[in-house]
Amino acid sequence: MKKVEKREPKNPIENLLRMDRIPHIWCAGCGIGTVVTSFIDAIKKNKENLDKLAVVSGIGCTGRVAGYVKLDSFHTTHGRAIPFATGLKLASPDTKVVVFSGDGDLSGIGGNHLIHAARRNMDLTVICVNNFNYAMTGGQVAPTTPMTANASTAPYGNFEYSFSLPNLVESAGATYVARWTALHLRRVTKSIQEALSRKGFSFIEVITPCVTLYARRNRLGDGLNLLKYYYEQAEIKHGADTRTVDIDYQGKLIVGKFVDKDKPTFQDAMDTHFSNVLGDDYQLYGRINHEKD
Ligand SMILES: Cc1ncc(C[n+]2csc(CCOP(=O)(O)OP(=O)(O)O)c2C)c(N)n1
Ligand code: SF4
Ligand SMILES: [Mg+2]
């Protein structure tokens, strides 16, 4: 019988990918894979305990991430990644829960969940791939599509005001907010490392090429052209006021770490409140009484 030789991993992140699901569905030149590489790099650099890390995605091209990473992962329904992740966090308080999803999934159909998780300072890390459209379903206009940009449902250009996601989540209560592009891979990695080390609602927006729909429809060229645009137009401004970081069509991209502060999480606030009200009758969330001190 022919001896089957053990194959050496060809890619340094292969051991954290479900290789039986590869080839993936993403188009050549799509930026989602590069964000996945940054994420895996971050969990390796942080030496995260993989038994205590979970990834939750919604539906969309980005939503496929949960199916490709070899971690405890859940591919939920459209717009419901955050409520699923919230439930998971409450059921397993010592698990770090990462939501990895698209701009449409998180801020369109899932927008209400996004703002309420931020308001509660739920202890989650959210990685939002913003490609300015609903890519998976044919490039429809999204709450993030810049004014005047073309989309399949806006053939004469978008006339709606768009969300500035950093401003939205900061106003709602997020304690860590950063924005990068898919060109800033090491910065994305560092932000994910930081977010995983913080408690509270962390939000990292990554502006990412969608070559097949957004770029083609707007005649912006291929993935390389988009990276060139990011290179020329991105300006790093750490601590920038999130009211000043709106994105105009093909305009400047203000990127950086905008918010990094401490505030009790949902579970900490609940513990403090009920301990004050109920005293020793209250059992700390996820712990037994003698762990209180
Ligand atoms: C309840 C429901 N409504 C609509 C859809 C169709 N749908 C699937 S993905 C998607 C948009 C995804 O956009 P985004 O989150 O930006 O992800 P992308 O594909 O751009 O990465 C839509 C509208 C769905 N699957 N379920
Ligand atoms: S349609 Fe756009 S976002 Fe989806 S895989 Fe292709 S390039 Fe990426
Ligand atoms: Mg999208």
Is the minimum distance from the CB of 110 to ligand 1 under 6 angstroms? no
Ligand 1 near 41 CB (within 6 A): no
Position 5 confidence tier, pLDDT thresholds 50, 70, 90: low
Please report the atom of ligand 2 found closest to the CA of residue 31.
Answer: 8
pLDDT of 155 higher than 80: yes
Contact 142, 134 (CB under 8 A): yes
Whole-number average pLDDT of the chain: 95
Percent with pLDDT over 90 in the chain: 92
pLDDT at position 9 is 62
- Residue 11 confidence (pLDDT): 83
**238-263: average pLDDT:** 98
CA of 231 to the centre of ligand 1 (A): 28
Helix axes 185-197, 32-45, angle to 10 degrees: 50
Ligand 2 close to Cβ of residue 142 (< 6 A): no
What is the rounded end-to-end Cα distance, in angstroms, of the chain? 63
Q: Give the ligand 2 atom nearest the CA of 32.
A: 8
Q: What is the pLDDT of residues 195-206, one digit of tens each?
A: 999 999 999 999
**Which of 127-141, 200-214, 276-290 has the least mean pLDDT?**
276-290
Domains and CATH numbers, the chain: 15-260 (3.40.50.970), 263-293 (no CATH)
Percent above pLDDT 70 for the chain: 95
- pLDDT at 131 (0 to 100): 98
Q: Is 266 close to ligand 2, i.e. is its CB under 6 Å away?
A: no
pLDDT, residue 99, reads 98
pLDDT of residue 46: 98
Report CA(167)–ligand 1 centroid distance (Å): 23
165-172 and 111-120 helices, crossing angle to 10°: 50
Is residue 8 pLDDT above 80, yes or no?
Answer: no
pLDDT digits (tens, 9 = 90+) for 15-32: 999 999 999 999 999 999
CA count, 13 A, side-chain hemisphere, 211: 15
Q: Is the CB of 240 under 6 A from ligand 2?
A: no
The protein residue whose alpha carbon is closest to atom 3 in ligand 2 is: 210
Beta-carbon neighbours within 5 Å of ion ligand 3: 102-104, 131, 135
